[in-house]
Structure 1
Amino acid sequence: MFSQGHAGASAYARVGVETAVMGASPHRLIVLLYQGARQAIAQARMHLQQGNVPERGKAVSKAIRIIESGLQQSLNLEVGGEIAGRLNALYSYMTRRLFEANIKQSETMLVEVDGLLATLEEAWIGIAPEVARMTAQPAVESMR
């Protein structure tokens, strides 16, 4: 079905992703989850436009798994307070919309969820300097 070159490229991509994940900080892992979910939605949109129902379903399912098993499961609802609760509700909404988008073959719904993820990803990337400062602070204090 695929040429050897494609198989090699896929293996190379998997190694690249595994390497990125293994060396990533917790903050960076969340960025990778946002990017993975958005990439899956982009694939779902492409398959929707091409009329490829099985592949669209796989891509939507992948996006849902990333949101539920990655982003949503990473929330600490006990410590995170109102923000964690709101994110939890938003992630649940996104998974429902993705499921509905797949059933109704709605690119508009896919775009909506992608936009929500893009906004969260941008905000998460925006706090990177603060996260770096906070993680560096204990190291500096332990040197004293």
Structure 2
Amino acid sequence: MRGAAAYGRVSVESNVLSASPHQLISMLFDGAQAAIKAAKLHMSNENVVEKGKAISKAIDIVNSGLLAALDKEKGGELAERLEGLYNYVSNLLVKANLHNDTAKLDEAAELLQNIGSAWKEIGQQAASAKQGA
């Protein structure tokens, strides 16, 4: 089992090292979604410790990844709005943890899904434009 875990870490590290900045942000969205999904599963199984770990991971991804990556100088109003949204999502996750509230997990996941899918669409358009140039 350790070999599989080590292989998984190497695979993830390889993907991170070869990813563009745009792809890295997409990976953060995917990671946050996976953590929220895990938290929901642990919540339904009443596994408090693992639920807390999964929610902490999701909060860390939102705060230390997505929020920290915002460029407020270049991003202007859009970056400010995203900052507010990420803070709201982080707050939802804290409340979900405190109250075992799956509805708050669902809301956080939906918001991140909407932003993440828009981000991925922009990446695909940029990649297509680059290939056409």
TM-score bracket for the superposition, by shorter chain length? over 0.9
- Asked whether 1:38 is paired with 2:33, we answer yes
1:80/1:134 Cα in 2 relative to 1: closer, same or farther (>3 Å)? farther
Give structure 1 stretches of 5+ with no counterpart. Answer: none
SS at match of 1:73: helix
**Residue equivalent to 1:109:** 104
Q: For residues 29 and 127 of structure 1, what CA distance do their matches in structure 2 show?
A: 14
**Residue equivalent to 2:6:** 11
Q: For residues 133 and 107 of structure 1, what CA distance do their matches in structure 2 show?
A: 38
Q: Are the equivalent residues in 2 in contact too, given 1:98–1:113 (CA < 8 A)?
A: yes
Q: How many residues align?
A: 133
- Of structures 1 and 2, the larger Rg is shown by 1
- Normalised to the residue count of structure 1, the TM-score between the two structures is 0.87
**Residue equivalent to 2:78:** 83
Q: 1:96 aligns with which of 88, 91, 96?
A: 91
Q: For residues 124 and 54 of structure 2, what CA distance do their matches in structure 1 show?
A: 32
Q: How far did residue 130 of structure 1 move? A: 3.3
Q: How far did residue 22 of structure 1 move? A: 0.4
Give structure 2 stretches of 5+ with no counterpart. Answer: none
**Residue-by-residue CA offset, 1:1-54 (whole Å, 9 max, x unaligned):** xxxx2x222211111111110000000000000000000001100100000000
Q: How far did residue 131 of structure 1 move? A: 2.5
Q: For residues 54 and 68 of structure 1, what CA distance do their matches in structure 2 show?
A: 21
SS at match of 1:51: coil
- Normalised to the residue count of structure 2, the TM-score between the two structures is 0.94
Matched letter for residue 48 of structure 1: M
Matched letter for residue 124 of structure 2: P
**Residue equivalent to 1:128:** 123
Larger helix proportion, structure 1 or 2? Answer: 2
1:76/1:134 Cα in 2 relative to 1: closer, same or farther (>3 Å)? farther
**Residue equivalent to 2:54:** 59
Q: For residues 68 and 134 of structure 1, what CA distance do their matches in structure 2 show?
A: 31
